[in-house]
Structure 1
Amino acid sequence: MNAFLGKKLCIATAHQKEIAIAPVVEQGLRVECVVPAHLNTDSLGTFSGEVSRKGSVLETLRAKCALAMKENKSDLVLASEGSFGAHPSSPFLPADFEMVLLIDNQSGKEFTGSFWTTDTNFSSTSITSEDEMESFMERIGFPSHGIILRKEANSFDPIFKGITNVETLWETYTFLKKNFGTVYAETDMRAMVNPKRMKAIGKATENLVNTILSLCPNCQAPGFSIQKMEAGLPCAWCKQPTRSPLYALRKCQECSHEVKSFFPNQKEMEDPQYCDYCNP
């Protein structure tokens, strides 16, 4: 059963995210995708800092959906939002967390999908020489991945975004060095100039589709998804509970039916290296 078959889905994006999102939802949910022509999602926050994000990721997603619906009245609306920083289980690794939200405007129901990955080039640094500039370019995957240049961190006057060719980069570098004496470089994390991020958005969308197509065994409503991962998988040596998940709790939005699925990672014991008793 597919409750969304043939419906129109509006993708709330100003940064070409439909490239990653539309093929997944069109194939998985059999919807018709549209993209608003003049949507300004930067008004809700920018990665480069000119506009600070005011709310949580979910609140920002809802605000994006509301903006899109002012321009395009659709049965469904979908938005994506990313956050970058340390990975929750590996704090020394930079990570990309992507979340997508689909709102069914007829029922008011919300469905989410998400994806964590350490496959990101999220990076920034002060540049003091052409050699350092070339090293940064190589490390982040330029020119397939865009670069932002400014005179210093948190400076917005001037700021140069979306640099994706060598000539423009060196012209901008020379301008900043000549006029301000300093250059600050960072990855442009907007999806249309960052293929790694675009790929992660696609993965989050796949998670969303899988969630929607997961039906409640009690009432057949869509979105019978994991709401909680309960820790407690026993250690293989000492049998004490570890922080690894013992079961996943799935819950229906419609009838509140719950199902516990034990051993969600397909193992019944945890490696002692992850045990706080055997490896404190």
Structure 2
Amino acid sequence: MTLPHRVALGTKHGKSAAIAPPLGRIGIAVSVPEGLDTDKFGTFTGEVARLGSMLDAARAKARAACKLTGLDVGIGSEGSYGPHPSIPILPLGREVLLLWDRTTGREIVEQVVDDQPRLASRYVADVDDLDDLIAQTDFPRTNLVVSPAGTTDYVKGLKTLPELVAAVGQAIAQSEGRRALVQTDMRANHNPRRMHTIARAAEALAERLSRNCPRCGSHGWGLVEVERGLPCSACGMPTPLVGNEVHGCTACRHSERAARGDGLAAADPRHCPQCNP
């Protein structure tokens, strides 16, 4: 199976700026359909709930892009941002890219994690309360979203201080509790850090598409599964950390077990349920 020469990208938020260059370097051109409203698959601010998983949303975007362009191969991108699962006081971001071939139904998925995303939200009762949030979010490069507390009356894409101050003042006046909710705008074209993370995912996808299956020769050889149980360096018992990777091909389903890509052979005892119950 050969690489596609052109793929459809399901986006309305400028993600082609991050995704097209890495794919272009391996000979794949990206087409963005006009009129595709990807917000119908879910919004960060919650007006539209995402149905299903990140993969479900990315898959829906890829298929919608193919339908509008008439191309056989599409790419969908989806992000998820929130508290770190192990350290809730810290934020964590995850970006997924899914390539879908409608002639075969084949999917190739890559994902990356960002442990320092531009993600923040805060209730403010006065415009003077904005200073810390502005410093934390790298405003105005990262745009902000404002709403009266307890409502979904969002003003998005705020990128100048006068706009922000006016929106916060109006939101406070409209809120029953006299507070405004100020959040980072997580749409890709309003959040440079997120766009950078999407570019990393695109680099990973391009690299994967450049690798061929050792059995059938198809493109897309890469990580398909992980096996947890990395042994503790102190007691040798298995830990929740990844012990092995499974690399495979989604065309012929051939797979091979491999050591962790980072070369780590044993876990620190702080990750061990036996040593650190």
TM-score range for the pair, normalised by the shorter chain length: over 0.9
* 1:169 paired residue number: 164
> Given the superposition, is the C-alpha separation of residues 119 and 31 from structure 1 closer, same or farther in structure 2, using an over 3 Å criterion?
same
- After TM superposition, list the pairs within 5 Å mapping 1:69-108 onto structure 2: 69-108=66-105
How far is the alpha carbon of 1:79 from its aligned partner?
1.3
> Given the superposition, is the C-alpha separation of residues 15 and 182 from structure 1 closer, same or farther in structure 2, using an over 3 Å criterion?
same
Deviations 1:66-87 (A, max 9, x none): 2222321124211100011223
- After TM superposition, list the pairs within 5 Å mapping 1:1-280 onto structure 2: 3-4=2-3, 7-27=5-25, 29-153=26-150, 155-156=151-152, 158-180=153-175, 181-280=178-277
Deviates more, 1:66-75 or 1:196-205: 66-75
Give secondary structure in 1 for the equivalent of 2:225: strand
Give secondary structure in 2 for the equivalent of 1:217: coil
> Given the superposition, is the C-alpha separation of residues 133 and 228 from structure 1 closer, same or farther in structure 2, using an over 3 Å criterion?
same
Identical pairs, percent: 31
8 Å CA contact 2:245, 2:257 repeated in 1: yes
TM-score normalized by the length of structure 2: 0.92
C-alpha separation in 2, matches of 1:256 and 1:224: 10
Q: Aligned partner of 2:50: which letter?
A: R
> Given the superposition, is the C-alpha separation of residues 178 and 87 from structure 1 closer, same or farther in structure 2, using an over 3 Å criterion?
closer
8 Å CA contact 1:245, 1:264 repeated in 2: no
C-alpha separation in 1, matches of 2:65 and 2:140: 31
> Given the superposition, is the C-alpha separation of residues 123 and 266 from structure 1 closer, same or farther in structure 2, using an over 3 Å criterion?
same
Give secondary structure in 1 for the equivalent of 2:93: strand
C-alpha separation in 2, matches of 1:15 and 1:190: 7
TM-score normalized by the length of structure 1: 0.91
C-alpha separation in 1, matches of 2:138 and 2:236: 45
Deviations 1:171-221 (A, max 9, x none): 212222334332111111000010010011111112222222222112212
C-alpha separation in 1, matches of 2:174 and 2:262: 55
What 5-or-longer segments of structure 1 have no aligned partner? none
Give secondary structure in 1 for the equivalent of 2:202: helix
Q: How big is the alpha-carbon RMSD for the aligned residues of Structure 1 and Structure 2?
A: 1.8
Q: Aligned partner of 1:170: which letter?
A: V
Deviates more, 1:34-43 or 1:192-201: 34-43
C-alpha separation in 1, matches of 2:134 and 2:260: 43
Give secondary structure in 2 for the equivalent of 1:42: helix
Q: Aligned partner of 1:162: which letter?
A: G
Give secondary structure in 1 for the equivalent of 2:227: strand
8 Å CA contact 2:23, 2:206 repeated in 1: yes
How far is the alpha carbon of 1:89 from its aligned partner?
4.2
8 Å CA contact 2:66, 2:72 repeated in 1: no
C-alpha separation in 2, matches of 1:66 and 1:235: 44
C-alpha separation in 2, matches of 1:176 and 1:246: 50
Deviations 1:136-157 (A, max 9, x none): 122111100010111014x12x
